[in-house]
Structure formats: C-alpha cells, structure tokens
Amino acid sequence: MQTLDRIKDLAIKELSLDPGKIDANAPLADLGVDSLTFIEFMFKVEDEFGVKVSDEDLRSIKCLADLERHIAASLQATGKA
C-alpha cells in the first residue's frame, strides 16, 4: 500500500473522515480537523510510520500530501524507504 493510501486510511479511522471527501491537497482545516485533533493524529502517524514529526514540521504540514512528503523524506533519511 502506498504511503498516501495508508495516511488516508489512518485519517478515515482516527479522524472519522468521509472517504469520498478526502482530498490529499485540501487544507486539513477544510476537512474539519482542528489543531488539537491534528496533534493527536500526528502521534498516530508517528506510531504507524515510525517517524518523528517535530514542532517545526507541524507548522509546515497543511494537508495530507504535505504529510506524505514529510514521511517519505524522513524514511529516506533514516534508510527505511
């Protein structure tokens, strides 16, 4: 399964998002994700993918596609990609 598909599946499960309405490039706020929920979701992402998301990274992740790029870069940097 591709990284973005795994992120979407996790978002559907953890954020109760409608699978038909998920746009990877849509701002998370437009999907109804508030800041606290976003941080909780990031903990799930860290566990799922074995990556760390720093406070600085959090500020640059605005959509699921941004998150996918961050995960890919983190996995590549650690040799897990």
Query: For 16-66, what is each residue's pLDDT tens digit?
Result: 999 998 999 999 999 889 999 999 999 999 999 999 999 999 999 999 999
**Count of residues in the chain:** 81
The domain tally of the chain equals 1
In a domain, 23, yes or no: no
pLDDT at 12: 95
The answer as to whether 29 is a domain residue is no
Helices 64-77, 35-49: crossing angle, 10 deg rounding = 30
24 inside domain: no
Instruction: Report residue 35 as tokens.
Output: 């800041």
In a domain, 22, yes or no: no
Does 57 reside within a domain? Answer: yes
Tell me what pLDDT residue 79 has: 80
Q: What is the Cα–Cα distance from 75 to 52, expressed in whole angstroms?
A: 10
Asked if the structure places residue 69 within a domain, the reply is yes
Residue 78's pLDDT is: 81
Domain that holds residue 71: 3-16+35-77
CA angle, corner 41, sides to 27 and 59, nearest 5? 50
> Contact at 8 Å (CB) between 7 and 64?
yes
pLDDT of res. 50: 94
- Per the domain annotation, does 67 fall within a domain? yes
- Do the domain assignments include residue 58? yes
